A and B are shown apart, each in its own frame.
Chain A
Amino acid sequence: GEDVEQSLFLSVREGDSSVINCTYTDSSSTYLYWYKQEPGAGLQLLTYIFSNMDMKQDQRLTVLLNKKDKHLSLRIADTQTGDSAIYFCAETNSSASKIIFGSGTRLSIRP
C-alpha cells in the first residue's frame, strides 16, 4: 500500500535554512503536499507540487521533487521562531479519495 515517511525531529538555529525530507512509495502519486500544524491546532496547507514538476518556490519556501527517487523536500529559508511546528508531507493521486500523510517532522528553532 501507499506509505509516506519522514524523520520525526529537526532542530535548526534561527536565521538558518531548514530542510525537511520525505519519501513516498506510490509511483502513481499526482499531487504532493506540505502541511503545517501549530500546537493544539489543525493542519494548514503550506504548499503543493504536481508530480510533473521538480521545483516550486513560494517566498521563503522551496519544494524539491525527485520523482525517480520518490523524494520530496521542503526548504524554509531564514527560519524564524514562528516556523516552529510539525510539518506533514502528504500525497495523493488523481483518482484517490484520500490523502496519505507522513508521520510529521517536528521543527524546533534554537536561538
Chain B
Amino acid sequence: SQTIHQWPATLVQPVGSPLSLECTVEGTSNPNLYWYRQAAGRGLQLLFYSVGIGQISSEVPQNLSASRPQDRQFILSSKKLLLSDSGFYLCACTRRTSTYNEQFFGPGTRLTVL
C-alpha cells in the first residue's frame, strides 16, 4: 500500500524567505501527485497536480511553484514567502483500482510565515 512522506512536519519562516517542501511516495509507481493548501479553519485548495515526471499543472495563480524531478518525488517551492502562504500543506497521490480512484494523503506540513 502507498505511504506518503512529507517534511518538514512544521516550519516557521520569515516573510521574504525561500521555501522548499518535499513529498515522497512509496508503494506505487507512476502516481498522480497533488499539493493542497488548507488555511486555518478552511477547506482544501488544490495548488498543483502532476501526472508524470516534469509535468505540472497549476490550479491557481500564486507565489508558489512545484516540481517533480522523479516519479515519486514532488516538491513545493517559493522564492519569497508571503504572510498569506501560511497554512497546512498536504501532499496526496491517487491510486487507481479497477473500480475507483482513491486519493491518499500525507501527514501534512504546517507552515507559519511571520
B43 at the interface (CB under 8 A from A): yes
Q: How many residues of B contact A (CB 8 A)?
A: 25
The stretch that binds B, out of A12-20, A40-48, A61-69, A76-84, is: A40-48
- The residues of B that contact A106 with a CB separation of less than 8 Å are 41
CA distance A97 to B46 in the complex (A): 12
Partner pick for B43 among A41, A99, A103, CB 8 A cutoff: A103
Partner pick for A40 among B32, B43, B92, B108, CB 8 A cutoff: B108
What is the 8 Å Cβ interface bit string for chain A, positions 28-45, against chain B (1 contact, 0 not)? 000101010000111111
Shortest B15–chain A CB gap in Å is 24
Query: Chain A: residues with CB nearer than 8 A to chain B?
Result: 31, 33, 35, 40-45, 48, 50, 88, 90, 92, 97-104, 106
Query: Chain B: residues with CB nearer than 8 A to chain A?
Result: 4, 32, 34, 36, 41-44, 46, 49, 51, 90, 92, 94, 99-108, 110
